[in-house]
Structure 1
Amino acid sequence: MYTKIKSIIRPTVLAVVLLAVGCKTPALVTPEQKGKLPENYTAMSAQDTVNSATVQWKNFFKDQHLVDLIDTALKNNQELQITLQEVEMARNDIRIRKGALLPSVGVKAGTGVEKVGRYTSQGAGDASTEITPGHEVPDPLHDYTIAAYANWEVDIWKKLRNSKKAAVNRYLATTEGKNFVMTNLIAEIAESYYELLSLDNQLAIVKQSIGLQQNGLEIVKIQKQAARANELAVQKFEAEVRKSESMEFDIRQQIVETENRINFLLGRMPQPIARAQSNFFDEPLLNTQAGIPSQLLANRPDIKQAEFELAAAKLDVKAARAEFYPSLGISASLGFQAFKPSYLFTMPESLLYSLAGDLAAPLINRNAIKAEYKNANARQIQALYNYERAILNGYIEVATQLSKIENLQKSYTLKSQQVDALNRSIDISADLFKAARADYLEVLMTQRDALEAKLELNETKKEQLSATVRMYRNLGGGWK
């Protein structure tokens, strides 16, 4: 049997080699990366390799309420769970590709009956056949078979192996995609949490302003009774109080919407969000270190995902190119076959075996294969541009946030000084108004300017906290 197998495989392999020499395939497109990352984010920044992306999110965020929210989201968030199923599907695709490399082996058992015409070449021959003296072949003729069979495509050109490697790279890409979803989820929850703290502080600022305005309203009413003010002043103060009270309800609605957004990210029904009750302006800024640009390649999940997709696309091109070459398939079977169950395991009369090698190669109509090969090349170039875009986007995002953090700090310092000056002017205007040395419009404008300045300072503080969260995300932190 070994001699028979050898006699089949040798000429088959020779034919494969001859056909492969005669097959002309299109040239492989191998684009190269066009750009490299700069050494620094800015001309003034030093080459410090300390990078906040290496810090685990539980250690990066200091607020325990925020840590608990993120921990809940990582367990319950539906988008993250959907991504985990995509990872599982990619893992199963590896098993499929790996299985294609191995022979497919099966067992079959069957029975049937066949009746041929007596006046046919087969029928005439069967009539004269004797099994034992005086016993002819039964008519109609039954057929009983028990056999094992195997089919195997020999991966001569590494088509199947490249497909399996491409599946492995796509699995790794989906894993990085899951990490990217996790990073964005953590950042979105943190930003929403700080927005919630900012809204709480806005509400406190507006309530404080309402108290000042109501106090001014009472004063101007008293002055009207003393003929030192008129009804216009009373109505102006009244309108300002109502405006601030309306603003209070707008802020309360924003608080509800922000809480519900956080609950949605946590995968749960609406409920109050536990949060810190300290002074928002005293909230410490998160410490972020940008490191050097080349660290983005190892830390940002979206860049690593694009890198694995590019590697998979290159392997797809190689697999598509192998379609131009002949494919070698080997099939074999071994078992027992007889027309009567009692003869089924009679050796060697009922022994059944076969071995065959098939060679198939596209010779004439190869347009479909050429089209798929060109598509694979196009997808490879597309993956390359996507990889370059991911690197460029990561670098720009970090550079932008670095500049934003610096400018926000300067803006916050100046706005703090503005608020301090306006707070002093409120007391001064109130004293002057009581002494009839300032009119009610000056008092109203001073209170209005102070309220707007405090709200702007509050917004700047929120932007500072959000900028540090975005910096942590842009550096690739949060998924480790």
Structure 2
Amino acid sequence: MNKLNKIKYAGLTCVLISLAGCKMPSVVQRTENKTTPEVFLNATNDTLNNAKTKWKNYFTDANLNALIDNALQNNQELNITMQELVIAQSEVRARKGEYLPFVNVGAGAGVDKLGRYTNMGASEANTDIMPGKETPDPLQDYKIGAFATWEADIWGKLHNAKRAAVSRYFASVDGRNFVQTNLIAEISNSYYELLALDNQLEIVKQNIEIQTNALVIMKLQKESARVTELAVRRFEAQVLKTRGMQYGIKQKITETENKINYLIGRFPQPIVRDHKMFESLIPAKVNAGIPSQLLENRPDIKKAEMELAAANLDIKVAKARFYPSVGISAGIGFQAFNAKYLVNTPQSLLYSLAGDLVAPLINRNAIKASYISANARQIQAVYNYERTIVNAYVEVANQLAKIKNMQQSFELKAQEVEALNQSVGISTDLFKSARADYMEVLLTQRDALESKFELIDTKKSQMNAFVDIYRALGGGWN
């Protein structure tokens, strides 16, 4: 190559590089600056945190723990997320392989017959392979060798793509942990709901007996002309209504059992539990820690953080596409027109080494669009990260307030139930002595039944808050 051609090629290379480095699309980037409050509302500045407690120690009911253990092994949604981890891990391996050299080994054989009166045929006829012999016709071709290609990652495009894939893998891990946390909470809430329904059914059966006895008294009072047929019918209707309630509760029990079975990944079957221990359940004291610990404990926050990191790396990858790429290719092997000469060296030895520089020059709209989209996704990731942090703080604050309010509500509701239970006996005695009418007895029994139901619902809300605060703090996955 003469000096003039060298100057031309050097000039062309400079032009390509200068064009590749021209101004890129103007975009707005946003970086995360969301900080959490120092403490939760109405909470102490204490770093003790129940999120670090293992779920087997947080829940002390052996039957509940057995259900959770089965669910963690057989739940379909959790198993689906496990396969997502495999997919994300394979993506990391693929991105890692892109910045390593690609080496291929190949072998081939062929035969080529040229026309004698073509320019190539005529020239080969006058070229001696051996003294006094023409080129073999047809001409065979055998070759074997190794060939490699490699893109020099001088702008970090391939390495950043691999790092983004790693971040998304860790996001998948945290996504799986988030599914596990929610699964434990959902099974626990359903289990306590099942215990509450069992107790409501027990109360209904007890009230059916009480109301049936009251109905007998009403019939005796009617025979002695102390009450009318209206009183008997009203009490009879109340007994029928209460008897009908038990079937609605039984249906809810069936549905709740089947929900738990579905979460465990099995067909419907009875759920083993001891409903008698429900009344004695007392939620343990919960330590919420400080809000900044949510960043470490909540899987959904960690997932959003990893997705944000991946989005930031995607911008660097998109930006690097504007710059020239440098490729290197090399090969070494043997080639001969006859198989017996294939490994004769150095006559049959071949090798090659080449480099190329390629840069986008005209019509870079696709690269610009990819760069703008990467920036938009990064801003989305920031907003999602901020939203996840705020949502986590709100969830914890709500459950802390719920624990406090439900405790006070339960204490008052228990006093109400005790008062109404005494009222039932008092109203019945007053009715027998003709000092109260049948409506007072009827209304007192109805109020007592409703208050018992409300007491059980309040206890269930207490246990739900106990479960939900554990989930909100990020417990259950570690």
Same fold (TM over 0.5): yes
Which residue in 2 is equivalent to 1:239?
237
1:474 Cα deviation from its structure 2 partner: 0.2
State the alpha-carbon separation in 1 of the partners of residues 251 and 193 from structure 2.
13
Task: Select between 357-366 and 177-186 the one with higher mean Cα deviation.
Answer: 357-366
Q: Note if contact 1:16-1:328 (Cα within 8 Å) is conserved in structure 2.
A: no
Which residue in 2 is equivalent to 1:368?
366
Which residue in 1 is equivalent to 2:327?
329
Which residue in 2 is equivalent to 1:401?
399
C-alpha offsets along residues 324-378 of structure 1, whole Å, 9 cap, x if unaligned?
0001111111111111111111222211111111211001110110000000000
State the alpha-carbon separation in 2 of the partners of residues 202 and 358 from structure 1.
79
The correspondence of residues 436-475 of structure 1 with structure 2, limited to 5 A, is: 436-475=434-473
SS of structure 2 residue aligned to 1:345: coil
SS of structure 2 residue aligned to 1:130: coil
Please state if 1:312 is matched with 2:298.
no
State the alpha-carbon separation in 2 of the partners of residues 258 and 142 from structure 1.
78
> Which residue identity is paired with 1:358?
D
Q: Note if contact 1:61-1:286 (Cα within 8 Å) is conserved in structure 2.
A: no
State the alpha-carbon separation in 1 of the partners of residues 239 and 401 from structure 2.
39
Which of residues 264, 280, 285 is equivalent to 1:266? 264
Q: Note if contact 2:20-2:359 (Cα within 8 Å) is conserved in structure 1.
A: no
Which residue in 1 is equivalent to 2:25?
26
Alignment RMSD (CA, Å): 1.8
C-alpha offsets along residues 255-288 of structure 1, whole Å, 9 cap, x if unaligned?
0100000000001111100112324221121331
Which residue in 1 is equivalent to 2:39?
40
Which residue in 2 is equivalent to 1:353?
351
1:23 Cα deviation from its structure 2 partner: 3.4
1:118 Cα deviation from its structure 2 partner: 1.5
State the alpha-carbon separation in 2 of the partners of residues 359 and 332 from structure 1.
15
Normalised TM-score (structure 2): 0.95
1:311 Cα deviation from its structure 2 partner: 0.2
For structure 2, the 5+ residue unaligned runs are 1-5
SS of structure 2 residue aligned to 1:112: strand
Task: Select between 434-443 and 388-397 the one with higher mean Cα deviation.
Answer: 434-443
The correspondence of residues 171-250 of structure 1 with structure 2, limited to 5 A, is: 171-250=169-248
Q: Note if contact 1:151-1:332 (Cα within 8 Å) is conserved in structure 2.
A: yes
In the comparison of the two structures, how many residue pairs are matched? Answer: 470
The correspondence of residues 417-428 of structure 1 with structure 2, limited to 5 A, is: 417-428=415-426
1:135 Cα deviation from its structure 2 partner: 2.3
> Which residue identity is paired with 2:189?
E
SS of structure 2 residue aligned to 1:333: strand
Q: Note if contact 1:146-1:336 (Cα within 8 Å) is conserved in structure 2.
A: yes
State the alpha-carbon separation in 1 of the partners of residues 234 and 273 from structure 2.
37
> Which residue identity is paired with 1:31?
R
1:28 Cα deviation from its structure 2 partner: 6.4
SS of structure 2 residue aligned to 1:473: helix
Q: Note if contact 1:337-1:344 (Cα within 8 Å) is conserved in structure 2.
A: yes
Which residue in 2 is equivalent to 1:129?
127
SS of structure 1 residue aligned to 2:275: coil
Percent of aligned pairs with the same residue? 60
For structure 1, the 5+ residue unaligned runs are 1-6
1:73 Cα deviation from its structure 2 partner: 0.3
> Which residue identity is paired with 1:109?
A
State the alpha-carbon separation in 1 of the partners of residues 287 and 454 from structure 2.
27
> Which residue identity is paired with 1:479?
W
Which of residues 353, 377, 383 is equivalent to 2:381? 383
Q: Note if contact 2:283-2:466 (Cα within 8 Å) is conserved in structure 1.
A: yes
Which residue in 2 is equivalent to 1:153?
151
Q: Note if contact 2:72-2:78 (Cα within 8 Å) is conserved in structure 1.
A: yes
Task: Select between 463-472 and 218-227 the one with higher mean Cα deviation.
Answer: 218-227
1:409 Cα deviation from its structure 2 partner: 1.1
State the alpha-carbon separation in 2 of the partners of residues 226 and 107 from structure 1.
109
C-alpha offsets along residues 414-441 of structure 1, whole Å, 9 cap, x if unaligned?
1111111100100000101111111111
Closer, same or farther: CA 203–376 of 1 in aligned 2, 3 Å: same
Task: Select between 336-345 and 387-396 the one with higher mean Cα deviation.
Answer: 336-345
Q: Note if contact 2:235-2:442 (Cα within 8 Å) is conserved in structure 1.
A: yes
Q: Note if contact 1:196-1:258 (Cα within 8 Å) is conserved in structure 2.
A: yes
Task: Select between 125-134 and 396-405 the one with higher mean Cα deviation.
Answer: 125-134
State the alpha-carbon separation in 1 of the partners of residues 23 and 320 from structure 2.
11
State the alpha-carbon separation in 2 of the partners of residues 117 and 287 from structure 1.
95
1:130 Cα deviation from its structure 2 partner: 1.6
State the alpha-carbon separation in 1 of the partners of residues 19 and 455 from structure 2.
73
Which residue in 1 is equivalent to 2:3?
none
Which residue in 1 is equivalent to 2:80?
82
1:228 Cα deviation from its structure 2 partner: 1.6
> Which residue identity is paired with 1:326?
P
